[in-house]
């Protein structure tokens, strides 16, 4: 599903440049549930953003669903994001003046689905994350956990190949963290590839594979107990 | 173009407009004010022009009026301060010497007299005239007819009176034609009643009688008080005026440089002055209107730019969810066009309403200052189209700004 070879990424800082990713090799197969761990500044988000086509790498190869990602224009990137990827952010990133339902339906709008159908599908996904009754609420009327579940529903609504989550539980307490993780596990059980960044060992333990980064290189890549238990 | 008719597109625009009420309001007011000013100014300018045209409307605008005063320079043995009069011989000379230039020439004699009908009376101007007057200064007749050549030939005791004279002297609903009235104790038969002119009028309420009759009754011999001359098409009226005056000075032994001996008014010249003023005003109107419009459009662009900055993050989110740069651009431009269009339409409607009010306040009656203040539909459409095009162009800038940043940078924005 995701194949990364000798990936490098630097950020220009003034005249110098900051070498963030220093030759990453990573292969994630369809249906995997992978977490990335590492200290702050180790390049986790950078990696995820490149995988999510939100940022561009400098060197190396990146294949998404078998397709080499190179010299992609914004239009093609947008279409690929819409088709293959679902995002969950630490800060939820819901659109504040749209209801939960409308937020979930938005990716389908860019897919070109008509409104009626869109709202129906979105409602199904809201139901899936247990928030059917909150459909007409604005994000400001939802708790953090609820917001993140709305965001997950939004990430899933286009039925993507991969869900990318950058610290999805970073802003949540333990109980809500568990409910969000349960949700991600469910999705993964249904066969979706899930790729999360986290700082919390307990969260990482619930995934099936942990990739550890330090200073832009992978220092370990292990299966978790949860995976071995299967 | 399909996206234009997509209810979702409008849903999105409605959402973003509703969210940003204040800036939407400011934007709309900016453009609205511009187009409103343009409509009102153009309408008012048109109204002024109309009232001006109406005022000079029935008058041949290439006319010169000439009368005598008193000399200011001694000449050929005459003292200065000499008074003299125009006469029919002058008319003959002018007619033959300027045959190719003069179109119409009306010699006139006028006086004030008591006019009596039965037990009613009033003091009015009495004017001895030729039928040609009707061609220079069109009379609208309510009853009967104006003087004709037969009246002149037979020195008939007939008169054409104004509606006011008729109303003052006659019983209500009394048919005036054929009735006789006394002017200076002589009986005249009324042959016509004319409407007061709502335009420039040098006569006011006058009883017109045949020139020949006037000459006999008032013993004016060959003298005349003044004359009206209109020039043929294409004649330089100012040149003709000075030529005619020179001829007259020669005939009356007046020094060629004498400035006071003859009085004259050149209507063409006066009108040219006013037309110049009108053109200037129209130019100013356009200038002010268009400048305001452009300012309004720039306000829209500016506000959109601010909005785009404010919404960088939102745009980043949308792009992460699969919004193409094109769809982002379309939305921002459509928003701009929509706002300018709505504002423009409200501006036009308000402008038209104000013009309507101006019309009812100042546009009615005989001496209206602004007659029928309107604006051309094509002009408004042009202004409107320009507005929308400018709105689109100016919307391109923020739309471009919104799509050049990488989505991750947009998302990182707080
Ligand atoms: N747009 C940018 N411009 C310059 N430097 C950047 C940019 N984005 C990230 N960096 C730098 O790259 C390095 C890696 O950043 P990244 O966000 O990938 O770290 P991270 O592992 O996600 O850290 P955290 O756990 O704090 O989120 C950091 O040193 C950061 O300062
Ligand atoms: Mg990070």
For residues B310 and A127, which has the higher predicted lDDT (pLDDT)? A127
CA–CA separation, A85 and A78 (whole Å): 10
Q: Tell whether B405 is within 8 A of chain A (Cβ).
A: no
Tell me the C-alpha distance between A129 and A148, whole Å. 10
- pLDDT over threshold 90, residue B260: no
Residue nearest to atom 13 of ligand 1 (CA): A41
Residue located nearest, by CA, to atom 7 of ligand 1: A11
Q: Is the dihedral of CA B270, B273, B279, B283 positive or negative?
A: negative
Q: Does B7 touch chain A (CB under 8 A)?
A: yes
Tokens of A175: 């109980």
Q: How far apart (Å, rounded) are the C-alpha atoms in residues B108 and B211?
A: 7
Q: CA-to-CA distance for B284 and B267, rounded, in angstroms?
A: 26
**How far is Cα A106 from Cα A100, in angstroms, rounded to an integer?**
10
Mutation target to probe the B interface, by most B beta carbons within 10 A, among A49, A54, A87, A99 is A54
CB spacing of A158 vs B16 below 8 angstroms: no
Q: Is A198 in the pocket of ligand 1 (CB under 6 A)?
A: no
Mean pLDDT, all residues of chain A: 92
Burial class (CB in 10 A: 0-12, 13-18, 19+), B240: buried
Q: What is the pLDDT of residue B277?
A: 79
Q: What is the pLDDT of residue B303?
A: 74
Report the relative pairing of strands B223-224 and B86-87 from DSSP bridges.
Answer: antiparallel
Q: Are B23 and B311 in contact (CB under 8 A)?
A: no
Residue of B nearest to A95 (CA): B314
Q: How far apart are CA B246 and CA B14, in angstroms?
A: 77
**pLDDT at site B368:** 60
Q: Return the percentage of chain B with pLDDT > 90, whole number.
A: 7
Least distant ligand from the CA of A43: 1
Q: What is the pLDDT of residues B143-156, one digit of tens each?
A: 899 989 988 998 88
pLDDT, one tens digit per residue, over B185-239 is 899 999 999 987 666 667 778 899 999 999 988 888 888 888 888 888 778 888 8
Q: For residue B115, what are its two tokens?
A: 């006019």
**Residues of chain B neighbouring A139 (CB-CB closer than 8 A):** none
Q: With a cut of 90, say whether residue B68 has pLDDT above it.
A: no
Q: Say yes or no: B329 contacts chain A, CB-CB below 8 A.
A: no
Which of B7, B18, B408 is nearest residue A115 as measured by Cβ atoms?
A: B7
Give the DSSP letter of residue A207.
S
* Closest ligand 1 atom, residue A216 Cα: 14
Distance separating alpha carbons of residues A143 and A128, to the nearest angstrom: 17
Residue B177 clears pLDDT 70, i.e. is over it? yes
Residue A145: φ, ψ to 5°: -65, -40
User: Are the Cβ atoms of B407 and A109 closer than 8 angstroms?
Assistant: no
Q: Is any atom of ligand 1 closer than 6 Å to the C-beta of A11?
A: yes
- Which of the ligands is closest to the CA of residue A89? 2
Using a 6 Å cutoff on CB, does residue A46 contact ligand 1? yes
- For B339-362, how does the pLDDT look when each residue is reduced to its tens digit (9 = 90+)? 888 888 888 888 888 888 887 877
pLDDT at residue number B261: 85
Ligand 1 nearest-atom number relative to CA A42: 21
Are B64 and B227 in contact by the 8 Å Cβ rule? The answer is no
Comparing alpha-carbon positions, the chain A residue that sits nearest to B408 is A54
- State the pLDDT at residue A52: 93
What ipTM, to 2 d.p.?
0.92
The confidence score (pLDDT) of residue B363 equals 65
Taking residues A197-210, report their average pLDDT.
93
CATH number listed for the domain at residues A2-229: 3.40.50.300
- pLDDT above 70 covers a percentage of chain A that reads 100
What does each C-alpha distance from B364 to B47, B194, B241, B368 come to in angstroms? 11, 21, 36, 5
Which residues are B110's β-sheet partners?
B127
Tell me the whole-structure pTM to 2 decimals: 0.67
Number of Cα atoms under 13 Å in the Cβ half of residue B355: 25
The tokens describing B324, both together, are 């193409």
Q: Which stretch of DSSP H or E encloses residue B224? A: strand B223-224
The residues, ordered by sequence, that sit 6+ positions from B410 with a Cβ below 8 Å of its Cβ are: B312, B313, B315, B316, B319
């Amino acid at each position: 599903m995701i194949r990364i070879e000798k990936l490098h990424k630097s950020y220009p800082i003034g005249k110098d440049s900051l070498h963030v990713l220093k030759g990453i090799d990573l292969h994630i197969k369809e249906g995997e549930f992978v977490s990335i761990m590492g200290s702050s500044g180790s390049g986790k988000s950078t990696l995820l953003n490149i995988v999510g086509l939100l940022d561009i790498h400098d060197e190396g190869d990146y294949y998404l669903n078998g397709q080499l990602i190179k010299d992609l224009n914004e239009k093609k990137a947008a279409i690929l994001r819409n088709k293959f990827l679902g995002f969950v952010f630490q800060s939820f990133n819901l659109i504040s003046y749209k209801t939960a339902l409308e937020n979930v339906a938005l990716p389908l709008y860019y897919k070109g689905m008509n409104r009626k159908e869109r709202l129906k599908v979105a409602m199904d996904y809201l139901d899936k994350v247990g928030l059917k009754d909150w459909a007409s609420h604005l994000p400001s009327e939802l708790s953090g956990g609820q917001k993140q579940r709305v965001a997950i529903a939004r990430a899933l609504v286009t039925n993507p190949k991969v869900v990318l989550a950058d610290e999805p539980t970073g802003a949540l307490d333990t109980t809500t963290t568990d409910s969000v993780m349960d949700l991600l596990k469910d999705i993964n059980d249904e066969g979706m590839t899930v790729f999360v960044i986290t700082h919390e060992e307990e969260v990482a333990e619930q995934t099936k594979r942990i990739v550890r980064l330090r200073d832009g290189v992978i220092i370990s890549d292990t299966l978790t107990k949860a995976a071995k238990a299967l | 173009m399909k996206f234009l008719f997509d209810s979702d597109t409008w849903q999105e625009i409605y959402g973003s407009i509703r969210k940003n009420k204040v800036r939407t309001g400011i934007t709309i007011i900016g453009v609205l004010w511009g187009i409103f000013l343009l409509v009102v100014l153009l309408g008012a300018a048109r109204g002024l022009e109309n009232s001006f045209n109406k005022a000079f409307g029935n008058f041949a605008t290439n006319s010169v009026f000439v009368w005598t005063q008193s000399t200011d320079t001694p000449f050929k043995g005459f003292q200065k301060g000499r008074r003299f009069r125009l006469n029919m011989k002058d008319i003959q000379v002018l007619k033959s010497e300027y045959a190719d230039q003069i179109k119409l020439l009306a010699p006139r004699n006028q006086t004030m007299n008591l006019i009596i009908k039965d037990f009613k009376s009033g003091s009015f101007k009495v004017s001895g005239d030729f039928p040609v007057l009707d061609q220079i200064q069109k009379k609208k007749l309510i009853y009967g007819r104006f003087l004709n050549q037969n009246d002149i030939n037979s020195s008939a005791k007939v008169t054409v009176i104004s509606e006011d004279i008729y109303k003052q002297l006659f019983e209500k609903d009394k048919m005036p034609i054929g009735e006789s009235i006394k002017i200076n104790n002589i009986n005249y038969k009324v042959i016509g009643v004319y409407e007061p002119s709502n335009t420039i009028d040098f006569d006011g309420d006058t009883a017109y009688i045949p020139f020949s009759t006037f000459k006999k009754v008032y013993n004016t011999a060959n003298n005349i008080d003044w004359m009206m001359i209109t020039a043929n098409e294409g004649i330089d009226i100012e040149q003709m005026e000075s030529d005619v005056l020179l001829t007259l000075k020669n005939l009356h032994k007046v020094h060629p440089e004498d400035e006071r001996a003859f009085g004259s008014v050149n209507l063409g010249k006066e009108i040219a002055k006013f037309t110049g003023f009108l053109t200037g005003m129209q130019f100013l109107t356009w200038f002010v209107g268009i400048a305001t419009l452009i300012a309004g459009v720039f306000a829209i662009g500016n506000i959109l730019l601010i909005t785009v900055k404010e919404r960088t993050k939102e745009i980043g989110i949308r792009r992460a969810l699969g919004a193409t740069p094109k769809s982002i651009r379309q939305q921002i431009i459509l928003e701009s066009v929509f706002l300018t269009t709505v504002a423009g339409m409200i501006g036009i409607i308000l402008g038209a309403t104000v013009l309507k009010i101006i019309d009812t306040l100042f546009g009615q009656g005989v001496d209206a200052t602004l007659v029928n203040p309107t604006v051309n539909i094509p002009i408004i459409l042009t202004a409107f189209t320009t507005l929308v095009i400018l709105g689109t162009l100016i919307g391109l800038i923020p739309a471009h700004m919104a799509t050049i940043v990488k989505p991750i940078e947009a998302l990182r924005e707080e």
